[in-house]
Structure 1
Amino acid sequence: MKISAPASAFDAALSIVAMAADKKNDTPLLIVADKGTVALSVNNPRAAISISTTMAASIGESGRAAVSACRFAALLSGFGPRSTINISTTETAVMISSGNSRYRLPLLADPPAGLVINPEIGRVELASADCIRLLDVVAAADTEKTRFFLTGVYLHSDGDKLIGVGMDGTKMMRVGVVADHFSEDNRLIIPATAVKLLDKLLRATKPQMVTLRRSHAAFSATAPGFEIVSGMIDAAYPDYKKVLPPPNGSSASCQRAEMVAALTRLKAVAGGDLPLIMVTWVGGEPIRMFLAHEPDAGTDAVAAQTCGSARMALSLAQLTAVLAEFKDDALLIEMTDRGVIIRQGDKFGLLMSCRFIEKEIAA
């Protein structure tokens, strides 16, 4: 194999595929040169993730070679972006040169083949912005390995919408975007690791559209500049609709930025590591919030259109985290018997209430 390309082209391609490399192990980078393009791919069997991309290059001889992804990326990062990188192979090594610089890296055995979408049982094309919105629900996914079936994002079709769900037993995020039919079973669960990598790829490459595909065991996303393939979590996602508590008629509409600002002020005066926030309102009055165990430490009011009455203790940290997943626009907060539902268009979050003995606070 003999190829030549600007260092900037290699850097751009490596910044994409190196995301899949295992930082603790010497993950192979497969380089395949053929027909005017060079394909780079990294397959990480431990994480069941592979990422591939292509780049333009001058090809003197077609061929393929596998080298350490981390060592190759580190070596090329030392060249200026305008440098021309020449790569050739011998029977045992990859030779890298640029100007008066000469280096060699040992060849590695070709990595095992990555996952493939076969047979393909679902395909949908989405705007990149819509795909990012679906992935954002990973913020509510569980991190507890014993509940592995919750440690990812669940995608499923519902009418003319594709729904993304993440939950951990105390909070849930759900987003819907208009899309063609993609998946109707409850087994399309993308691991959080793959979700976060796909989010980084979309934000880095900024494609207009992305194509999602699935088989019974694998999920892929393809856009100009990259393809990522990931194994899915081998489990059935719980029927989250059955655990949604119905609203009790009490609701409040307010500006997210004002509520976040009030929570930030209350956090500053809170004692202890896990403070609870008491959220209350009476129809026609603002939302009132104070620290449940320290009512004298601070109280704040948020302008809102309210109806009904509400009084519930919530985790200050979790409520702040849920609100962070929404934009600085008006929110609709609905009180239920077991928690609050926060809505904004086709996106909603659920946060369950915390146990709190009312007599602990002053009247």
Structure 2
Amino acid sequence: MKITCSREPLTAAFSLAASIAPTRSPKEILQNVKITASGGKLTLTATDMEVGIRLDIEEGVEIEVEGTALLPVGRTNAILRESNDETLTLETDDSGVIVRGSRSKFRLPGNNPDEFPPVGAFEEDKYHVISTRLFRTMVKRTVFATDTENSRFALGGVLLELTGDEVIAVGTDGRRLARMEGKGESVGGHETTGTSTIVPTRAIQLMERALDEKQDTVDVAARASDLLLRTNNAVIHSRLVEGRYPNWRQVFPKRDDAVILDMTVGPLFAALRQAAIVTDHESRGIDFTFADGTLKLEANTKDIGESQIELPIAYDGDPITLTMDHRYVADFCKVLDAEASFQLEVESSAAPALLSTDDGYGYVIMPMARDR
């Protein structure tokens, strides 16, 4: 193999592929990225046997001799990052891979690329077409709520429900739950069944990272044990988390007597950050008291101090005090613009709070026991 390639697109593609390769593995060959020069393009593949990626590069690629090679992740990343050359030449010989710049030359040991596990292409005839912007939003607004440390592995990923023109993503750790829904297009009658299409947190974050901003839509195909995502120049597949997701629809409160308040993200987030100054890892609860046209945020932590922050609201009913983990409220604020409006629904100190937006986002926070 001998190719010349523009450094910048190669660096971007290699960095993404390398993020999937494991830093440690009983199979040392997985700590490489396989490159294949064929048909006028360069294809990079990487896998940790749970997640796999195929990336195609056509821009700035000149192939003199077709072939394959394995590039060790750590050293190759360093070469690409430190190089100032606009183009690099990659060539294989009997002892490994040679990387040349205008005034640099590196020789890296080479393993047999034929021993590298295959990473399949996207060959499905049934899938969903989802706008790139919606998919990104779905991931951003749900993935933070997953629980990768929980022994209930089903909570360690994002549930995707794809049926007809409806697409839903859900993330929960058992103490809060985030749900984002929107519209998509089913091709070939594609749909998910039950509650088993759970994409691991790390995998769905990699999928979001791989999205091409210039591409309007992405294709998503769910199979019995894995999920595939296709962009203009990449295919990512991930094994699904084993187990069944809890019935998340039962978590969303349906009540007639709740108080519904129209609020803006920025002012609430600012008040929350101030109130949280006197909290610590052990004492994370903040009292939210709704009364007399004011939302009062109060925290009290032994040996640290007390805080009391007030925010005007349009509510003059009976007082309601709800204690919530300030981190969970902050997570909601972080995934929305400061000027975004949302509705906050509360009922009592023992009932969960529901925060929702007009574009299909809902977020449930379970209350904490009050210390005082």
Alignment TM-score > 0.5, same fold: yes
- Mapping for residues 53-72 of structure 1, pairs under 5 Å: 53-56=55-58, 57-72=61-76
- Mapping for residues 242-321 of structure 1, pairs under 5 Å: 242-247=250-255, 248-270=257-279, 273-282=282-291, 285-291=293-299, 297-306=306-315, 308-309=317-318, 310-321=320-331
Counterparts of 2:214 and 2:152, CA distance in 1: 33
Counterparts of 1:320 and 1:98, CA distance in 2: 47
Q: 2:152 aligns with which of 147, 160, 164?
A: 147
Counterparts of 2:100 and 2:109, CA distance in 1: 15
> Which residue identity is paired with 2:111?
L
Residue in 2 that maps onto 1:179: 184
Residue in 2 that maps onto 1:221: 229
| Residue 303 (structure 1) shift | 2.4
Answer whether contact 1:260 1:323 (CA < 8 A) is retained. yes
Q: 2:333 aligns with which of 323, 338, 341?
A: 323
Deviation per CA, 1:309-342: give whole Å up to 9, x if none.
Answer: 4221112222222332333222211114421000
Residue in 2 that maps onto 1:3: 3
Moved more, 109-118 or 61-70: 109-118
CA RMSD in angstroms, aligned pairs only: 2.5
Counterparts of 2:196 and 2:344, CA distance in 1: 30
Deviation per CA, 1:126-145: give whole Å up to 9, x if none.
Answer: 22110011112011111324
Percent identity of paired positions between Structure 1 and Structure 2: 20
| Residue 228 (structure 1) shift | 1.4
Q: Look up the SS of the partner of 2:82 in the other structure.
A: coil
Q: 1:37 aligns with which of 41, 46, 49?
A: 41
Figure out how many residues of one structure are paired with residues of the other and give that number: 351
Deviation per CA, 1:236-286: give whole Å up to 9, x if none.
Answer: 11111123333342222221111111111111244774232111224x723
For structure 2, the residue ranges without an aligned partner over 5 or more in a row are none
> Which residue identity is paired with 2:4?
S
Residue in 1 that maps onto 2:174: 169
Counterparts of 2:312 and 2:22, CA distance in 1: 49
Answer whether contact 1:274 1:317 (CA < 8 A) is retained. no
Structure 1 residues 298 and 13: CA distance shift in structure 2, 3 A? closer
Counterparts of 1:288 and 1:159, CA distance in 2: 44
TM-score (norm 1): 0.88
Check if 1:348 corresponds to 2:362: yes
Q: Look up the SS of the partner of 1:281 in the other structure.
A: strand
Counterparts of 2:66 and 2:125, CA distance in 1: 34
Counterparts of 1:17 and 1:139, CA distance in 2: 23
For structure 1, the residue ranges without an aligned partner over 5 or more in a row are none
Answer whether contact 1:213 1:219 (CA < 8 A) is retained. yes
Moved more, 33-42 or 101-110: 101-110
